[in-house]
């Protein structure tokens, strides 16, 4: 397949991802307005699942298989569906479930399509969409096609990360794990990071954090312990907005660390995190 053909295929995949993500986001918002409760817990008592998470992933899976029956699906709430095409859909039905539970308007539906296995170190992301159902904002990108923010009220605009921001003036977002021991370790790192930057933000949805970096609403984002579905779409959106995404020491992003920032800021932040013991 030529590069032009590959880019065209990615645009087609993006259209499918956008249609599915916006459709299920609307339904999830309707369910939230009717009221929700915790359906189960996962890794710890604070790591919750709602019926909206499960219902949304079921709808996403059904719509993907209807449109692309030969593709695989790798999601948060259900078993991996193994496909035969070599493409995998990486799905977070609700990123920011605690925000959803408390009716904080920062939760999202995240859908990406990758070429290769559901492993960030070995896949090639082709398309990604992150939808905030409350605001109606849609962050999206296709490989080689740039990144955009689509807002029903304000229209569409291309996304670009903030360039030439010094670390001391950087507005940085992060997140925390659910296990008490990990949270304590992350807090120790933050104590070292916070005096060296402009300020910190904790939004509660890694997918929206990454969209915000791409949109220039944040200068950088870092977090330890993310799962592939947390960042598959958002990382592509940052890269297509001119940003850099990776881990520490030149590694690819993984559960050990994800950093997203403009290329001019990335190395400074990575060095600070290493110095802080991240």
Binding-site sequence positions for Mg(2+): 76, 92, 94-95, 230
Distances (CA, A) of 249 to 3, 122, 155, 185, 278: 31, 18, 39, 19, 11
Bin 216: left if φ > 0, else alpha if -120 < ψ < 50, else beta.
left
Question: Do the Cβ atoms of 173 and 209 come closer than 8 Å?
Answer: yes
Residue with tokens 């295929």: 9
Binding-site residue numbers are 76, 92, 94-95, 230
Question: Do the Cβ atoms of 20 and 62 come closer than 8 Å?
Answer: no
DSSP the chain: --HHHHHHHHHHHHHHHHHHHHHHHHHHHHHHHH---EEEE-SSTTSEEEHHHHHHHHHHHHHHHHH-TTSEEEESSSPPBP-SSSEEEEEEEEE-HHHHHHT-S--EEEEEEEESSS-TTT-EEEEEEEE-TTT--EEEEETTS-EEEEETTTEEEE--PPPS--GGG-EEEE---SSHHHHHHHHHHHHHHGGGSSEEE--S-HHHHHHHHHHTS-SEEEESS--HHHHHHHHHHHHHTT-EEE-STTPPPBTTBEEEE-HHHHHHHHHHHHHTT-
């Amino acid at each position: 397949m030529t590069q032009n053909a590959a880019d065209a295929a990615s645009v087609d995949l993006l259209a499918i991802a956008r249609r599915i993500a916006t459709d299920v986001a609307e339904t999830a918002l309707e369910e939230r307005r009717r009221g929700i409760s915790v359906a189960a817990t996962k890794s710890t008592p604070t790591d919750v699942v709602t019926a909206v998470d499960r219902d949304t992933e079921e709808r996403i899976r059904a719509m993907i298989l209807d449109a692309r029956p030969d593709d695989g699906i790798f999601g948060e709430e259900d078993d991996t569906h193994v496909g035969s095409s070599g493409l995998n859909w990486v799905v977070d039905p609700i990123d920011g479930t605690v925000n959803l539970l408390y009716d904080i308007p920062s939760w999202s539906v995240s859908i990406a399509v990758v070429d290769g296995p559901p492993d960030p170190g070995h896949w090639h992301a082709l398309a990604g969409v992150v939808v905030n159902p409350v605001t109606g904002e849609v962050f999206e990108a296709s490989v080689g096609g740039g990144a955009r923010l689509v807002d029903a009220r304000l229209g569409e605009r291309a996304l670009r990360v903030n360039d030439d921001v010094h670390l001391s003036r950087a507005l940085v977002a992060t997140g925390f794990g659910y296990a008490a021991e990990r949270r304590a370790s992350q807090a120790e790192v933050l104590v070292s990071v916070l005096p060296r930057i402009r300020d910190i933000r904790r939004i509660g949805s890694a997918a929206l954090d990454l969209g915000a970096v791409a949109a220039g609403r944040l200068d950088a984002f870092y977090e330890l312990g993310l799962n592939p579905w947390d960042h598959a779409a958002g990382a592509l959106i940052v890269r297509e907005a001119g940003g850099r995404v990776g881990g520490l020491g030149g590694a690819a992003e993984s559960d050990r660390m994800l950093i997203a920032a403009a290329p001019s800021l990335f190395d400074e932040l990575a060095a600070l995190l290493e110095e802080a013991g991240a």
